[in-house]
A = this chain, B = another copy of it.
Amino acid sequence: MKLHNFSAGPGILPKEVLEKAAQACLDFNGSGLSILEVSHRGKNIIEVFDKASALVKKLLKLDDSYDVLFLQGGASTQFAMVPANFLGKKAAYLNTGVWAKKAIKEARLYGEVDVIASSEDKNFSYLPKTFDVPSNVDYFHFTSNNTIYGTQMRNFPEASVPLMCDMSSDIFSHEFDASKFSLIYAGAQKNMGPAGSTMVIIKKELLDKQVRTLPSMQSYKIHADAESMFNTPPVFAVYVSMLTLEWLDNNGGVAWAEKRNQAKADLFYSELDRNSQFVGTVDKADRSFMNANFIMSDSSKEEAFKQMLKEAGISGMNGHRSVGGFRASMYNALDITSVEALVDVMQNFEKLNA
């Protein structure tokens, strides 16, 4: 039985993508070799990378003033690479959760950091609304979706300085004007593929603005010049990302994903607000479509609820180790039938316990 996969990440991938990935492990496109044992310099692998880049640009409506890179090391590597490349004197950061804080910590190794707003006072249960992005900074960095806390920014701040954003957990989940950003990065393992690849979208004009000498692997320019093959790239992770982007494109792209994600979020949150047994932990206006956090009215009943989830084939619902409670992650590939199954369990639980 295929489980309902609410994992916060690595998260659910489309069934057809998993089937094609399995096939490529045995024989990649009839080549007589597995995708796991062929050179990244081969024509067919270069085609995979080119196709993945082209799909990213198509799905986000970006023109050729942007490069798309597939790197390694996750968002955690980007936390340092962004300031290493572009923090000359001072940068502005928004503090909306654990990952934002980690980005701030790394940035401080390279220069001054102006944390222009924070929601740490209420354990990151809301998004700061009133802040101005200063004009005398090298860039402004924020996190669009806070996976651990379940808040999401779907309308983005304006700024006169370059916008740089960690979109690891909600890239491709709703429409937005990507051309307002100078740099976007995302670990693949939520909405676009398996763990092991990190996508970076960067405005080409930035590539010549590296502010210090860096190890080669930390330089966006070096990776861009080598078209993501400065060193051996994570071939399979990029291939599965390409398949996932193709699946998204074939189904109607980001507009389709947004409609579907809105429907799933509406279904889940309306049940959460109606049901006496559960309490949301996030300000309603700031709720994420991707990660819905909640606790139980009576925490002594957690084990009983977990048991019912398990019996219904629902997996991955535990809250992050740092916050506890529950979290329903509803990434692009999750079908609404899985949310229906979850809502059923919540309703049954209420009947048994109310």
Contact = CB atoms under 8 A, between A and B. Distances in A.
B72 A32 contact: no
Contacts of A32: 1-3, 313, 315
A337 interface: no
A234 B196 contact: yes
Interface in A181-224: 187, 189, 193-197, 213-218
Interface centre among A31, A77, A106, A333 (most CB of B within 10 A): A77
A10 interface: yes
Interface stretch (A34-42, A56-64, A274-282): A34-42
Contact of A80 (B72, B215, B237): B215
Contact of A237 (B8, B31, B216, B234): B234
Contact of A234 (B11, B72, B79, B80): B72
Central interface residue in A13, A23, A196, by most chain B CB within 10 Å: A196
A240 B321 CA distance: 27
Contact of A10 (B26, B38, B102, B218): B38
B18 A235 contact: no
A317 to B, nearest CB: 11
Given A76-B217, A217-B80, A26 B37 contact: no
A10 B234 contact: no
A312 interface: no
Nearest to A320: B41
A150 interface: no
Interface string A1-20: 11101011111110000110
A315 B2 CA distance: 38
A230 interface: yes
Number of this chain's copies in the assembly equals 2
A235 B196 contact: yes
B237 A73 contact: no
Contacts of A263: none
A187 to B, nearest CB: 6
Interface centre among A12, A19, A230, A234 (most CB of B within 10 A): A234
B11 A195 contact: no
A233 B195 contact: yes
Contact of A72 (B23, B72, B315, B333): B72
Contacts of A232: 9-10, 74, 187, 189, 195
A195 B235 contact: yes
A147 to B, nearest CB: 11
A231 B168 CA distance: 13
Interface in A106-157: 106, 109
Interface string A62-76: 000000000011111
B80 A216 contact: yes
A25 B236 CA distance: 12
Contacts of A75: 231
A11 to B, nearest CB: 6
Contacts of A308: none
Contacts of A215: 79-80, 84, 106, 109
A240 B36 contact: yes
18 contacts: A3-B31, A18-B25, A18-B34, A21-B25, A22-B23, A37-B194, A72-B74, A72-B77, A73-B231, A74-B232, A76-B216, A80-B216, A109-B215, A187-B232, A195-B236, A234-B237, A236-B236, A236-B237
